[in-house]
Each structure stands twice: as structure tokens, then as C-alpha cells.
Structure 1
Amino acid sequence: MPDMPFRPFEDSLDPDGALALLREATDGADDGELFLERRRSEALVFDDGRIRTASYDAAEGFGLRSVRGEVTGYAHSSEMSEPALRRAVETARLAVQGGGGTLAGSPTPTNYRRYTDGDPIAGAPFPVKIDTLREIDAFARDLDTRVVQVSATIAASLQEVEILRPDGLHIRDVRPMTRLNVSVIVEQDGRREQGTAGGGGRVLLDGLIDPADWQAKTQEALRIALVNLRAEAAPAGVMDVVLGPGWPGILLHEAIGHGLEGDFNRKGSSAFAGLMGQRIAAPGVTVVDDGTIPDRRGSITVDDEGTPSRRNTLIEDGVLVGYMQDRQNARLMGVEATGNGRRESYAHAPMPRMTNTCMLGGETDPADILADLADGIYAVGFGGGQVDITNGKFVFSCTEAYRVQNGRVGAPVKGATLIGDGATALQKIRALGNDMALDPGMGNCGKAGQWVPVGVGQPTVMIGGLTVGGSST
């Protein structure tokens, strides 16, 4: 039955036989594990007055890994059976030809739980979800006559994983995820603009389908759309920029966070490689990656190698003090694994990935930071962005931004992009607000073709001398 707990060693595989095959695959290796997963997901999209999409997906399988030095042997299958596992052993063992490895010890188990193990898909009846989407559509249109289109999405998933280590350690984790998004398009005098709001986390749907929650999200989406409706062309040039709290931390995540992942630094391809213990940011700047925050989108009780998540300080008072590590890169660099070994699914090998990456707050009132901005941009919302890990160069588009002159927030601007590089931006941070906030729960991170859910956060931050791409005046 789909709603029964995932128990592969009771339903599909003999536990003793699976352990024997895992030990065969990792004989002579440095590390390895058997990762088993079942994932179910549901997405409902209500667009332009009708249900546009109603999808349900279910998948399960295993991934078998054997690691020796820098070489990884990995095999996976959607068939949960002993013959499939035997075939996988042959592939995984290609990494350990010649043997000679010393098998690493297992991570220390944890009794902590960072989120519920409830099923968010089954937690709310299907008709209730549909009715909620219809109510969102009607509510948005009643808010303002300029609303011409509404799109609302409810998504829920449940990932169940089991990890078996060669020494017999058996780790289980159940990971729920929910999200509700609202997008509103408004039109006035022939001009159309859009606003989007949403969020969620490793929680059940109860809170998200509460009218108080979705009405607030809908009002926020409308507010952003109306702001953009009166936005002027963004200026272009080098200027100081103030970033708002919360979601603008996505710039930190992309421009800096990836450069602090262990694999890029071990290989020397990160802009921060070889700088451990050196000042890489302005005094007062502290950055952490914290997978232990309850119920957050990026949180994990254990990573996909079985290492318990933890709060890792990456930059402390401007000094580089740590990287994010999976087991393989940690071993090769002679440091501890940090609980950052993550994978998209059983079909992927783990690698160092972020969880919830945040810049901690300072002591300055955000109003004072804006008052000190003589001529620049106040960026509150961000859309897509790109970054080059090797040099930290980034380009980010703003979805909500304002022109600031002589400390006064003026007209909203449209088409603003922020251009710079992470290493320089860190050094040019001039002020940190006392309003550190986490994003509402909507981040996904891509790396080497794998996507995982993440969180970001930061206070109001002033950065000096970023290039703003827009329309020159």
C-alpha cells in the first residue's frame, strides 16, 4: 500500500543478505553505503480560473556506493531486489580494484528530530486542497479590479530514506515538504506586471491551507505586482546597494556559499581555496550553514550519508573558519564531515551541499542603514541568478527594488540586475542590520545536475560599489 511506511528490509530485501552484499562492495574501500529511498509527491496548479495541473508521482530505488581515495563507484536501480543489488555490487567495486583502503567508521547516530514524520499528502483531503486554490483565486480578484490573472500552487511530498553502513549501522529518516505559491498579474493602462509570494517547509499542509496564511501570501503577491506596475527604468552604473532581510540571502548562497563547499576547495577551483584562517570578509560578518533549524526547507535530521546535521560556522567576524563537507572530501582534507553530504535521489551520489545558509545580524537599525545610502538601490526581492564558482562572479535580477537618494527611498525600479563577485562583495559590506530573517521557504539549489531544497537568510546589508545593470539615464 502506498500509504504504508517504507520498510525495504521487511518487504523487498533480506537484511542479512543486503549487508553481506554491501560488505562485498566496500571490501578494500575507504567508505560506502547502501541508500534506499521512496519518494511520493503531489502538485496542484490552479491557473486562470481552472485546475491546470493535478499530478502525483511515486518512485523508489536504491543507490550503492563504494569510495576509495578520490574515486567513487556508484550504481543505482529502481528495482528493489537481491538480483539488482548483486548487479550493482559489480559496478560499485570498480572503484576499489586493488583494494588497500581502510573503511571509515560510521557517523554517531542522533536521537534528534528536526521535523515531523507525518505525511503531508494524506494530511489534507483532496477536495480541501482544490477548494483552497479556488478561494485563493477568488480572494485575489476581489482585492483589486486590476487583477487579470491568478495562479496558485499547492505542492507536497514525502521522502523516506534508509541508509545501511558496512558495519551494520541502520539509519532511517522521513522528510516531509510542503509549499504554497501565489502569482498575481495586474493590468493598468495597457501595462501588465506580476507579483509572486509563497513559502513552506518541512511541515504538514495545515498551516498553509489556513486562510490567514494564504490570504497574507496573496496580499503580498498583489502588493509586489502593484509596486512593479509603477516601477521606473532602473539606473545603470556602480553604486552602493542595500539588500533587504531574508530571501535576498539567495545572493549570499550563490555568490559565496558554493565557494565554501569542500569539493571545490579541495580541488582548488573555488575563489576561497587556500584561504582558511584568513580574512575574507569585512569585520563583523559571520556566516553559518545550519541544517538543524526545526521545520525549515533546508533542514535535515541526517544528511544522505547518515551524518547528523549541525550548525557549521563558515565565516566568523570576517575570517574563513570552515567549509561544508561530505565524508569523502572531509577525509581527503583531513577534517570532520559536517553533515552536508546531500543527493537529489537514490539515483545520485552525494556531494557537499548547503542546507540553510545565513549571514548573522549586526547591531544597526535597518532605517539607519537606508538613511546612510546617498545614491543607490534598495533590493528587497530577487529572481534568477548565475554565478561562476571559480571566481565568484555573479549576476542577479531584482524582482522588487527601489531607488534611494539622500537616504530617502524613492520610486520602485524595474529591470535592475546586480553584478559583482562574492569575494569582493564580502569585503565591501559596510553595515549589518539587527533584523536577521530567514526566507519564507522556497529555495532550490542546483549543482552538477542535482537539485536539493535549501534555505537562506540574512539581515539588512549595505554593500559598497556593486555594478547595477539597468537603463542608463
Structure 2
Amino acid sequence: MKDKMLLELLSEKEFKKILEEALSRGGDFAEIYLEHRIKTEIFLEEDKLKNVSYGVLFGAGVRVNSGEKTGYAFSDEISLEKVKRASQVASHIANSNKKLNPLPLKTEKVKPYFTLESPVSLMGDDEKINYLKRANQAARDYHRKIEQVKVEWYDEAKNIAIINSEGKKISDTQHLIRMAIFPLAIDGSKKFEGYATSGGKVNISYFDKYPPEKTGIEAARQAVEMLSAADTPAGSLPVVVGNGWGGVLIHEAFGHSLEGDGIRKRTSLMASQLNQKVASEVVTVIDDATIPYGRGSFNIDDEGTLGQNKVLVKNGILQGYLYDKLNAKLMKTNSTGNGRRESYRHYPIPRMTNTYIKKGETDPEDIIKSVKNGVYAKKLGGGSVDHTTGNFNFLIREAYLIEDGKVTQPVKGAVLIGNGLEAVKKIELVGNDLRIDPTTGTCGKDGQSVFAGVGQPTVKFTEMTVGGTKIKKV
């Protein structure tokens, strides 16, 4: 189904009836969100195809805003009867004698920031499975110590449409794929599972430049390399975080503090910091929904607002926040195109898109050379963050010691511990090797998950607490 076909499922007259019903109790704003999504998941393990599954999401959500309150209901069927019933439920959030009439609808054309002529998500299953097999074989062939390999594939083709009481009628199509590879290296009692990903919102030609073999080899290299890892020394040390996925630290421990709901409610420590210094002067942070092929990229957000490129922090000074329509209205400003939702079963909230630290001027080799004794976090793993305080801990999936300005011994069990709002003030050097990871990033908030991109150049923190496994002699 094409995005424009969603707008043809109901007539303009029927959309008007639904919006009128939604506003019948006096709401300030009403919106209909339509979605059709097809997703495919494929799993390969032990050289065997383990599972191929398909899923379809198809339905409509109706939202009514009344002051700070939101009423929301959804239907798994798009028909006048069912969607109108959802609008009746959502309308109960309002209780006012003042009745707002929806404006006449006007279809808006979307000028895409980038175009996918042949999205990978529309390939046949045999081609997708072939990519998994190629990645699997490349990982196995890398080294005799690779004994097990898992490969996972996910893709989706999503069409959305937004119709609201302000007269907006707009639609868009979004495609995304991700392939993840997990080779297990074993050497006696030592085991380590490598990890690498590929994909994004990309064309089939993507795999000409980034063949599955490349991803398989990278994951296997990491697994074999880390078998020889020593215990990590603990303490407060200079830390260099590698480019690309390393930006997840800024996303989680700093970016969430700039989202409009926390700013409006003043639950974020950043609410009173506008135009003040919040980071080192070498740090500029950007949230950009318009990056071609980015995991968090889109032409319009889930409220129909055009995707935007926003400078959040410039040379350490806080420039602005991330808003959806509701929080922007309550703060007497405009949406920044950050109203996002997991599906039609959820109402939109302010979320990041592709958030990253801007390219700096320092050669990454010079950043390493500047460290006498420290830790190089080449690849970060999972972690946890308290978004109200910014306190975090992140496992380093691939870590090395830095000794006398050189990357030396791989180390295991390393964990970065700190506070995001303080950590960004300790960034001393920013590399010139910016990379925005288009392959990995699913952000959770308020029970909703959305795809998000993260990125950064190589970055040096003057100090950070490193949790380690090396026992100090007393």
C-alpha cells in the first residue's frame, strides 16, 4: 500500500465527521493518524535458517488535546464507524462549552530529503536470506576459533498519514532494514561474542558498498580480538570514545534532557539553562531528521511536521530544545519536528531523531597520542541511564588500554560510569572523523520504542570513572 492510498480509505467528508466528533466536547486540537506497516524478521543460526516471520500493523489512532491533557484511542480497522468510535472515546478528555470547528482540509505535498528508488525492504526473501548466508560464511571463515554464528534480519515498509483539525492532510512512506551478526569465538574456557550491524533507510545498492561479508568479518574480528583481553583497571581515567555508535552516550545521558516534555514540566535540569554553557566549548550537538539514509531520518514526523536540522548546543552553549506540537504550544513556540510515536496505538511525544556531536578539528591519532594512561572505548555496548539525573553506566563491548599515547592491550569487563550533564563538560578533544551510525538505535521512553540514529567523531574525556575487573593489590 502506498502512503497516498491511506488518505483514500476514507473520504474528506468522513475525515471531517471524525474530527468534528473528536472536538464535540470542546477540545483544542484533534488529529487522525493512519498507519500501514509490513515487517519481516529472519533468523539464521548454526548454518540453518531458523525462522522467517511477517507482521502487519494496520489501523488508526485519534488524539484530542485539551490544555495539557491528551485523550487517545485507536482502532485496528480503518472505517468510518470504527475510527469515529475511537474519536468519541478520545473526546472525553475535554469538558468545555466552547466548540472548535476543524478547518477545511488541504493536502500537503512532501518534498523528500532523500529518495529510495529501490528500498532493500522490498527485496524478495531469497535475496535477503542470501545476504544472511554470506555474512554467516564470512564470519566463520575469518578464524578457526569462530565456532558459532547468529545472523538476524529485520526490515519494514511503513506508510503513514496525518489529518488534523488545523486543516493538515499529509502522508509519507518510510523503509528501514537492519542486519546484525553475532559470532562466538571460543578458546578453551574463554568465550567472547562479537557484534556488528549494517543497514539503515537504504537502497539495494547499499550492499555494493557494504557487502554482508564486510559486516561478518568485522564481527568475527572483534570476537577473536577480545579473547585475549586482560582485566580492566578501575578508577578515574582519561577515556577516548570511538566514532559512530559511541554517540549513544550523548543521546542517552544528555539528549533526553533536552526533550520538550521534561522542559515544560521542569523535570529536566536543562529547563533553566537556555543560552548558558552546558558543555565544553569544543562540543556542538545536533539533532537532524534530514540526514540521507539515517535510522532516525524522515520527511515528516508522526504529527505531519517537516523533519528538521536543529543545533541544540553550539560551542558548549545551549541553543534550544526538541518539541512536539503539544509541548511547543504550551511553551508558546513551534514544533521542531520531533513528535514521534511507536505506532498508531500510541500518541506522539517529543523524541530525538539522529543526534550527534559535530565534526571537530583534531586527528583521531593525535587524540590517542595525547593520553598517557587511559582507556579507548572503541565500541560501546548496552547500558542504563536515569533520565531525570543523567547518571549512566555503559558497558564497553570493545575496549583497549592507552599507554604512552598508543592503543595496546584489549581489556574486558570495562564499564563507563558517570553523569551525562557533567561528562559533556569534560570533553577536551573532538576528532575530524564524524560518523553517524545508521544501523543501530532503538530508543525507549514512556513505554514507546522508536528508531533513532546516533553519532560522533572520536572524542576524548579528560576523565571518567571506569569500572573494571582488575583486583588491586593491597
TM over 0.5, yes or no? yes
* Deviation of the 1:283 alpha carbon: 0.9
Match of 1:68 in 2: 66
**More off after superposition, 238-247 vs 117-126:** 117-126
Tell whether the 8 Å contact from 2:3 to 2:171 is kept in structure 1 after alignment. no
Corresponding residue of 2:19? 22
Contact 2:238 2:461 in 1 (8 A): yes
8 A Cα contact 2:244 2:457, kept in partner: yes
Contact 1:115–1:202, Cα closer than 8 Å, also in 2 = no
Aligned residue identity for 1:289: D
Unaligned runs of 5+ in 2: none
**2:124 alignment partner in structure 1:** 125
What are the within-5 Å matches in structure 2 for residues 46-85 of structure 1? 46-85=44-83
Please give the residue correspondences for 1:339-354 in structure 2 after superposition, counting only pairs within 5 Å: 339-354=337-352
Work out which of the residue numbers 371, 374, 383 in structure 2 matches 1:373: 371
Structure 1 residues 109 and 392, CA, compared in 2 at 3 Å: closer, same or farther?
Answer: farther
Q: CA deviation at 1:190?
A: 2.9
CA distance in 2 between counterparts of 1:343 and 1:220 reads 33
Task: Show CA shifts across 1:32-83 (max 9, x none).
Answer: 2100001100011111111111100012000000101110011101021112
CA distance in 1, matches of 2:77, 2:197: 36
Which residues of 2 match residues 429-448 of structure 1 at below 5 A? 429-448=427-446
Structure 2 partner of 1:267: 265
Q: 2:191 — aligned with what?
A: 192
Superposed displacement of residue 406, structure 1:
2.0
SS of structure 2 residue aligned to 1:269? coil
**Rounded Cα–Cα distance in structure 2 between residues aligned with 1:19 and 1:230:** 66
After TM superposition, give the deviation of residue 140 of structure 1 in Å.
2.2
Partner in structure 1 of residue 392 of structure 2: 394
CA distance in 2, matches of 1:185, 1:228: 11
Q: What is the alpha-carbon distance in structure 2 between the residues aligned to residue 335 and residue 212 of structure 1?
A: 42
Counterpart contact for 2:263–2:270, Cα < 8 Å: yes
Structure 1 counterpart of 2:226, from 215, 225, 228: 228
What is the distance in 1 between the residues matched to 2:12 and 2:109? Answer: 22
1:148 aligns with 2:109: no
Check the 8 A contact 2:107/2:170 in 1, yes or no.
no
Contact 2:118/2:204 (CA < 8 Å) preserved in 1?
no
For 1:135, give the aligned amino acid: R
Q: Stretches of 4+ moved more than 6 A in 1?
A: 101-108
C-alpha displacement of 1:216? 0.8
Cα distance in 1 for residues equivalent to 2:247 and 2:3: 36
Amino acid at match of 2:13: D
- Counterpart of 1:53, as a letter, is N
The TM-score with structure 1 as length reference comes to 0.94
Equivalent-residue separation in structure 2 for 1:175 and 1:115 (angstroms): 11
Correspondent of 2:31 among 25, 30, 33: 33
Counterpart position of 2:170: 171
Counterpart mapping for 1:281-430 below 5 A:
281-430=279-428
Give the residue type in structure 2 aligned to 1:18.
Answer: F
- The percentage of counterpart residues that share the same residue type is 39
Counterpart Cα distance in 1 of 2:108 and 2:374: 50
Q: Would you say the 8 A contact 1:107–1:306 is kept in 2?
A: no
CA 1:159–1:103 in 2, change beyond 3 Å: closer, same or farther? same
Task: Give, in whole Å, the separation in 1 of the partners of 2:98 and 2:423.
Answer: 45
Q: TM-score, normalization: structure 2?
A: 0.94
Q: Could you tell me how far apart the structure 2 residues matched to 1:282 and 1:304 are?
A: 33
Helix, strand or coil at the partner of 2:245: coil
Q: Residues 35 and 142 (structure 1 numbering): CA distance in 2 closer, same or farther, change over 3 Å?
A: same
Q: Distance in 1 between matches of 2:28 and 2:109?
A: 23
- Is the contact made by 2:148 and 2:183 (CA closer than 8 Å) also made in structure 1? yes
- The whole-number CA distance in structure 1 between the counterparts of 2:206 and 2:365 is 32
Quickly say closer, same or farther: Cα 1:4–1:455, change in 2 above 3 A: closer
* 2:92 is aligned with 1:91: no
Q: Which residue identity is paired with 1:180? A: M
Return the alpha-carbon distance in structure 1 between the equivalents of residues 194 and 237 of structure 2: 26
Deviation of residue 102 (structure 1)? 7.2
Q: Assess if the C-alpha contact under 8 Å between 1:303 and 1:339 holds in 2.
A: yes
Distance 1:384 1:314, change over 3 A: same
For 1:40, give the aligned amino acid. Answer: I
What's the C-alpha RMSD, in Å, of the aligned pairs?
2.2
**Alignment CA distance shift 1:295-1:330 (3 Å):** same
Letter matched to residue 141 of structure 1: R
Q: For the residues of structure 2 that align with 1:463 and 1:132, how far apart are their CA atoms? A: 38
Q: Are the counterparts in 2 of residues 117 and 175 from structure 1 also a CA contact under 8 Å?
A: no
Gaps of 5+ in 1: none
Counterpart CA distance in 1 for 2:122 and 2:259 is 36
In 1, Cα distance between the equivalents of 2:142 and 2:271?
51
Contact 2:186 2:192 (C-alpha < 8 Å) held by counterparts:
yes
Q: Deviations over 1:260-311 (max 9, x none)?
A: 1010111111121211111111112110100001121110100000000110
Is this contact kept in 1: 2:300–2:306, CA < 8 A? Answer: yes
Per-residue deviation, residues 356-397 of structure 1 (Å, max 9, x unmatched) = 001112211111111111221110111111111111101100
The one-letter amino acid paired with 2:194 is: G
Distance between the aligned counterparts of 2:71 and 2:7, measured in 1?
Answer: 23
